Every structure is written in C-alpha cells, then in structure tokens.
Chain A
Amino acid sequence: MTSALKSAARAGLPVPFLDIDKIIGDRETKIIICCGSGGVGKTTTSAAVALRAAEAGRKVVVLTIDPARRLAQSLGVGELDNTPRPVSMIDTAAGGSLDAMMLDMKNTFDDVVLAHSTPEKAAAILQNQFYVALSSEFSGTQEYMAMEKLGQLHTEAEASGRWDLIVVDTPPARSALDFLDAPEHLSALLDGRFLRFLLHPTRGPLRLMGAGFSMISAAMNKILGAQIISDVQTFVRAFEALFGGFRQRATSTFQLLSSRHSTFLVVATPQHDALREAEYFVDRLTEEGMPLSGMVINRVHTCALAISPERALSLAEDLADTSAVLEVEALRRHANLMRMIETETRMMERFAAARPTVAQTQVQSLPTDVTDLAALRRVGALLSDKD
C-alpha cells in the first residue's frame, strides 16, 4: 500500500481501489475512455491499459491523440495515417490482439464529408476556405473528430468482430468541459439558427425582426466584412445536407458513451491543479450520468527509506563540514523527496475527502520515460497493483 492510501486509511477514509483488471476482464466493457488535463500521462495510461487488456486476451484497438514520438514508434504508429495497425511483439498467448492508431483530425473530417455527400458537393466543401480552417484549426474539432473516430471504430468492431475493446485517449482539453461539450457545440453551431439565417436570410421568424435584422446584418458586415459573409454562405450551402447528420452522430456517440459498455478513467497526477481538473471531470461525468470507473493517479512518489525530512536534514548538517559530500547530497535529496511525498499525500487526501466514493489506483513515479512495450507493461502492472 502506498503512503497516501495508508494515511487515508488512517484518517478513516478507505479509498476504494480502482480494479483495472476487473474492468478489462469484463467482456461487457467495450469502450474505455481516458480523460484528464494536459501533461498527466493520459496517452501512456491509455496505451498501458490497451496492452494489458490485449495480453489478457481482449482484441483491442487503441486510439491515441498525440503520443510522444518514441512511444508512437514502439506502438508502430509513427505514421499519421488514420489507420489502425497491429502492434507486433505483444504476448498473444491469451488469444488477444492489439491495434494502435493515431488520430488524424483533418482526414477524419474529410472522410465524414466524403461519406455523406455527393462527389461534387464533397469537392466543393473540401476546397472551401472556411472548411479548411474549420477542419484543421477550430479548437473543438479534435474533440469532435476523436468522438467521430470512436463511433466509426465501434461500428466496425460490431460489424467485423475485429475488436472487442476500444481504448480512447482524449485530446488535451482546454478545460474539463471541452471534451464533452465540443461535439455538441460544433453540431449546434453547424445546425444553428445563425447559419440557417445566413443561408436563407429571407425565411423564418427572423424575417419579421425588421429593424433588429438590419442592425444585425450591419453589425456583421462591420466585424466580419462582406467577403467573409459570402464565404460562409458558400460553405453553409454546401454543408447543408450534412447538418442533420452531425447532430445525429453527436447524439448517438453521447448515448454510446453513457451506455454500460463504456467506462471513463480520469487521469491525474498528485498535484494541486491536476487534481482540481480531475475533480471537475469527476463531477461533470457524474452530472451527465456517464459511467465513471475511477481515477488513475500517475507519478506518485514513493520511498523505501522511512527517515523524516527533518532528521535527514539534521544528519546532513552534522556532516556539512566533512568530506562526506555524497552523503550530504543523498540526505538532502532524501529530505526533498520526503517533503514532496508529504505534499502529494496531502493533496490526495484532500481529494479523497472531497470525493470519497471515487475509486483510485496509483502508479508510482518511474525513473525513466515510458518509451517501449516493456515499460508500458510495467505501467500496466503498477496500474493493476493494489499494494
């Protein structure tokens, strides 16, 4: 048991354990979504969970968003080509398999357009300035496309039986809300009354607004300029047929995520801001009725030597004027480590006290970067380890 779990237990707060092996062992679990703020190790966690599930016999595909280059290479997805590729060198004794892919936001969007419109219309959309910017720069597009791709993978999995578990890494959210809101937001915008107005300014209730209408139209021309308005109109006209589809798919992905076949893992590190973000995620998922399994806390520091920071520093002080420079430095580093553990423990206790029912598993801080399958396997083992 790590020190945080121990002290939480001492404080009368038994932190429920997040049992990853139970989740991946349950054949009804078909989608695992890892979410959390940037820099907490979401991609590594997704890859480690996927590998562990595959080696336990599941047929897994992992959708990564922005893996570190060397991790991507070891998974065989160094190429950004939007296609799931088998990861070799995994242990297939249990009958499982692992495919990995890296999300290509723009290509996914292009595919949606191509799949849902006539070739002529698709060509017009793909060339439109507005579409180009929307599909490559809009801050919510990555979230939306991750969900779009998840929907596609799920359909393919159901149809072909190629996979029975999809593990999804989510984009580094600007805020906890983006990930759930972006798809809905984007579809609402594309389907919104503002665009309908741009498309048919003389139709609908706004026609009756009279003075209001001319004021709005004057204001828009002032901020955006007439040229932008006409660009948007072209775009919207070409896009019109897709509107219903966007909303519909966003809704069905949302339903898929709330079903009993999906589960969310919130990833954090034992720092104040990461845990605060995690709290938002937990609350939001709970409010939306999304199935939350629990929290993965990465990079938790541990220490095998039970000497307090005060004692270590006092021992270091006693040696200060001797030639024992290595001893002094070792003691000072130990004191630092112990104080960091104290801070982390305090942060995690605070979280556990505020959200006592959220199950947790902790992954201790590793001395080196996770860049190959062996290291991923080790992370997977630490994830599943209760002690």
Chain B
Amino acid sequence: MTPRHTLHIVSGKGGTGKTTIAAGLACALATSGRRVLLCEVEGRNGISELFDVPPLTGRGERRISRTPAGGTVYGLAIDAQEALVEYLDTFYHLSVAGKALDRFGAVDFATSIAPGLRDVLLTGKVYEAVRRKIKSRPNAYDAVVLDAPPTGRIAQFLNVNLAVAGLAKVGPIRSQADSIMRLLRSATTALHFVTLLEDMPVTETEEAVAAVRPTRIRIGMVIENMVTPSPLDNDQLQTAASGSVILKVPGLTIKQNQALASEFAIEAARTLQEQQRHDRLTALSLPLVQIPFDPGGIDEGAIFAIAEQLTDQIALEAA
C-alpha cells in the first residue's frame, strides 16, 4: 500500500521531541526499496546528532540510515543562503553573480532581513526536492519529511504566499511562492503536530491548529509523544492518586511499600492529567497517535521503534 502523502511537515513546541518524531516518520515511510528525504531548516544539526553521523550542513543530501524494512533515509540540512545561490544558478545561471552577491552582503541581506524571503527559500528547497525527477523513477524521493520550525512560528513559516504578498506583487519570487503554496495545499501534503500531554504544549498545539486553518494546508495527525500508558481504569487511577492505597508487595518492607504507594500516587495523578489533556486534543477532531515514553533515551533503535508505531497510522491514511 502506498502512503497518500509525499510531503510530511512536522512541527511541535520546543522540547516535545519534534525532530525525533520527524526521524521516526521518515523511517516509517522508508519501507522496502523506498527512498525518503528528511530535511531540517533551523541549522541545529538535529538530524546528524540523532543518527550519530557527521553534520549535514553544507554537504548536500546524504544517506543517513537504512531501515530494517529495507528502505533508505537521506538527510539534508537546508541553509537559506545556499538555497539562494543554488536558486540563482538553476534559474538564471548566475552562479558567478551569486558569489559576488555573497561577498557583497546581499545574500545575507536577502536571506535574513528581506521579510518572508528566507522562508520562501527554505520551503522552496523542499519544493524542489519533492518535485525533483530522476531517470527511471517518477521522483527522486518517494517521500520528503520536513522537520519544520516550532508551533509558535509554523503558520507564518508555511504562509509563504502571505509573507511575500505585501512586497512582491509580480515577478519570479511571487510565482515561486505561488507554486510552493500550491504544493503545500495539495492533497499529497500533510502537516503533523508533535505534543507532550502537558498544559503548555497542548495549548500551543490548539493555537497552531487554529492559526494554520486559514492557510488551507491539510493537518495530518497530532502525535502525543512520551506518553506513559496505563492499563488501569479511571477509578483505579483516582484511588491510587488519592494516596489512600495500601500496597502489599511481598518481599518489600512496610516502609518500602509506603514509599512505593506515595510514588505511585504522583505517577497516577500525572496519568490522570495526561488523560485530561488527551481529551482536550480529542476535541480537535484530528487523528491522534500515542508514542510511549522511552526511559532509555533516544538512539537509532528507539527511532525505529517509533517508526513501527507510526506505520499503522500511515497505513490507515493510505486506506
């Protein structure tokens, strides 16, 4: 079954594990024989750190992982200045001018001050990767996953059209922005939000969903990350959280059992809070996926485990 979306954009508040989830999603999409590109745009070397490979900055697209399913994940750190020079070269054969502009401070100016241009360049590079054709294949990549800016900036980042609207009414930047926007709004693009079941990230997710609505970009799923699942029902959790439970683990002293009970009371209270926040997210009427907390920390194995959990959801979307 082929997943419906070819461009996946992953956003989330800082600290929610957005990069990890983007990596997990890329691995999930890299099933047998498929090629998936994982991009980052914030210059943090997050991808290379995660996969424990040398920094990607300034080195183009490189293979970073082979998935257990037999697919390949490539990594790319998109840099606005490089994207601009590449853009000039591709469309105007202006590589010499690009270099002259760079020395002159114009590339720096264009990519950092000219409003919205930076985002157009970053998303423009993603657009190029999604649309790129190579011999013998319909596309260079079967899917592209973008580790996007955090929820607070995502609507602005994706609304490239609006960003340049006030400045460029006609011309190449304008038509470039229009093509990017068409891709972002197409049925093959999905925007996903990563959140923790904590108050602030959930609030930011709610706000981001509302902020993105006017852009008409489709929202795929909300990923509840680092969740602690519990087999207990609400009554049992309430009882445990109240601290009135007397635990009797054979082999532990009364004191140890008491310490365990008070520790469990805090854990149960947190699970109850997480469930309330899950209910808040349910009100968004979007597919919710839970990724359990991994107490052992994140390495490539943990990313593959996350990929497996995301696979079911992708299959559902394809159906």
Contacts and interface: CB of A to CB of B under 8 A. Distances in A.
Contacts of B174: 225
Interface stretch (B21-29, B130-138, B215-223, B252-260): B252-260
Contacts of A347: 297
B260 A68 contact: no
B44 A175 contact: yes
Nearest to B15: A39
A230 to B, nearest CB: 11
Contact of A329 (B96, B108, B264): B264
Contacts of A129: 166-167
Nearest to B12: A39
Given A137-B115, A216-B101, A223-B87, 17 more contacts: A70-B199, A133-B166, A139-B112, A174-B44, A194-B104, A219-B97, A219-B101, A222-B88, A228-B167, A272-B49, A307-B252, A315-B249, A319-B249, A326-B247, A327-B247, A329-B232, A339-B296
Nearest to A314: B251
Interface in B230-266: 230-232, 236, 239-240, 245, 247-252, 256, 259-264, 266
Interface residues of B, number: 81
The 9 closest A-B pairs by CB, nearest first: A39-B15, A38-B14, A133-B115, A225-B171, A39-B14, A339-B295, A330-B264, A194-B105, A219-B97
A307 B251 CA distance: 12
Summarize A's interface: helix, strand, loop or mixed. Answer: helix
> Among the interface residues A130, A224, A271, A347, which one has the most CB atoms of the partner chain B within 10 A?
A224
B318 interface: no
Interface string B32-44: 0000000000111
Contacts of A303: 263
A336 interface: yes
Interface residues of A, number: 74
A258 B19 CA distance: 34
Interface string A313-346: 0010011000011110111011011011001001
> Among the interface residues B113, B239, B262, which one has the most CB atoms of the partner chain A within 10 A?
B113
B312 to A, nearest CB: 23
B14 A172 contact: yes
Interface of A: 37-40, 66, 68-70, 129-130, 132-134, 137-140, 172, 174-175, 185, 189, 192-195, 197, 206, 212, 215-216, 218-220, 222-225, 227-228, 231-232, 269, 271-274, 276, 303-305, 307, 315, 318-319, 324-327, 329-331, 333-334, 336-337, 339-340, 343, 346-347, 367-369
B150 A38 contact: yes
B85 to A, nearest CB: 11
B309 to A, nearest CB: 17
Given A174-B44, A195-B109, A339-B296, A331 B260 contact: yes
